[in-house]
Amino acid sequence: MWRIPGRSITTRIRFLTPLLAVVTAACGATTIGGGGEERQTPAHASSQSATATTAATTATEASGGPASPTPTPVPTGSEPADCPNGKLIPAVDIPAVHADPVVIPEAKIGGTTVPAVTIPGVDIPAQRVPAQCTEIAPAPGGCLGAASIPPVSIPAVEIPPVEIPGVDAGGIKLDPVRADGKRAEAQHAEGVSTPEVCQVEPKEGGIVSFVIRPFIIRPFVIRPFVIRPFIIRPNACNDRNECVPAVEVPAVEVPAVEVPAVEIPAAELKSYEVGKSEILKGDDSIAFTLRADVLFDFDEAVIKPAAASELRRIAREIGEKAEAGAPIAVDGHTDAKGDDSYNRSLSERRAQAVVEWLASEGGLARSRLKARGYGEAKPVEPNTRSDGSDDPAGRARNRRVVVSTVT
C-alpha cells in the first residue's frame, strides 16, 4: 500500500482523488466505429463488469426493491412465415439492455445532511429487424422471372448520459463525475433487383440464344456496439473521521448488430436449336410439344420414321437439362372430331408409343416415363371458328403429344 509520510488521512484522500480521476478517464471505453477510439480489453471489461454488478446489487438492496424487468420486444406489422416465390430472410432480434439504478445513501457530515440520491438506471427496449422474403416472379416458358431483395434497416440506439453529483459539506469537497451518452446511428441497405429476361426464337428457325439473369446481392449491414464507461466518485473523510462512501455507476454496453448479406444466384436458360417441336421453359421445368401429324399417320399410333430425328433431339435435351431421375410425363391429346372415349383411347396409345420410343431408342429410363391420354379434354385452341364452322388449323394444333419434366 502507498503511504504518504507525515500526512493525515484527509490529506491522503485529497492526494489520491485526482489520481483516481485520471485512472478512471484512462480506463473508460468508448464507441468503436466512427470515432476511431478503441474498446477496453476483455480482461479489463470483465473486471469492470464484476464491479458494476456488485455496485448495482448493493444499490438495489439499499433501495429495498428488485431490479426492473427486461422489456419484451413487441413486433409491429405482419411478417412472412414462408415465401412462395422466394426464400425467407430470417428476422434479427436485438435484445433489451437493462442496468439497475444506483442509490447513494444519506450521510451526515459536520452537522450537514447530504441527502440520498438515486441515479437512474438504463432500460433500452428490445428491437427487431423483421423477417423478409426474396422474390423471383413467375415467368412464362422461355423466360427467367424478375428477381428482387427488399431493403433493410437496423434502427438507431442511444444510451443516456449519467452523473454522480458532487459533495461540499463538513470539510469534504468532491466534484461531480459524468459520462456522456452514447449513440449508434441507424444503418440501412437499399433493395436490389433485376428484370425478367426471355429467349427470342428466330423467325427463320435455327439457334435460340442462351439468356442469363445475373446474381444480385444485398450487402451485410452492421450497427457497431456502443458503451458508456463506468464512472466512480471516490470515498472521502474529513478530519473528524466523517466519511462519504465511494460510488460507482457500472458501464452500459449495447452489443453490435449484424444483418447478414442476402444473395439470389444467377440463372441461365441454355441455347437450343429450333426444330419441329415447340419448347416451353420455366424456372424449373421444360416441355416439348410435338404435333401429332409429325409423329403419326391419320388415326394411327405408330411412330413414323421421319419423326425419329425430332424425338432423338428431345431425348438428348432431356438428358442434358432434366434433373437427375426426375419423372417424365408424356401426355397425348386429340381434336374434338369423333367419339370422346375413342379419342381418349387414341391419345393414350399415342402417348405410350412415344414412351416406348424414348425408352428403347432415346436412352431414357423407362421407369421415369409415364403416359397419359386426355383425348379432346384439353384443347390449346378452339376446334371451330366463332361462327361454328370447322377450324382445321385449330384442330391440327390440338392433336399433339407433350413431353415435360423438371430441370
Structure confidence by residue, pLDDT tens digits, 42-68: 333 333 333 333 433 433 333 334 433
Counting every residue written for the chain, the total comes to: 407
Q: Worst-scoring range by mean pLDDT, 80-84, 160-164, 299-303?
A: 299-303
Exposure of 30 by Cβ count < 10 A (0-12 exposed, 13-18 middle, 19+ buried)?
middle
The answer to whether the predicted template modeling score (pTM) of the entire model surpasses 0.75 is no
Inform me whether the pLDDT recorded for 363 exceeds 50. yes
CATH homologous superfamily of 275-406 equals: OmpA-like domain (3.30.1330.60)
Least Cα distance to 148 among 51, 83, 103 occurs for: 83
Q: How many CB atoms lie within 10 A of CB 93?
A: 13
* Distance separating alpha carbons of residues 137 and 143, to the nearest angstrom: 11
**What's the confidence (pLDDT) of residue 141?**
65
> In b/e form, how buried is each residue of 116-131, taking b as 16+ CB within 10 angstroms?
eeebebbebeebebbb
Average pLDDT, the chain: 80
Rounded to an integer, the average pLDDT of 118-131 is: 97
The pLDDT score that the predictor gives to residue 186 is 97
User: What is the b/e burial string over 63-76, where b = at least 16 CB atoms within 10 angstroms of the residue's CB?
Assistant: beeeeeeeeeeeee
Q: Could you tell me the CA-to-CA distances from 54 to 198, 250, 380 in Å, in that order?
A: 67, 9, 80
| pLDDT class of 6 with cuts at 50, 70, 90 | very low
What per-residue confidence (pLDDT) applies to 299?
85
Residue range(s) of every CATH 3.30.1330.60 domain in the chain: 275-406
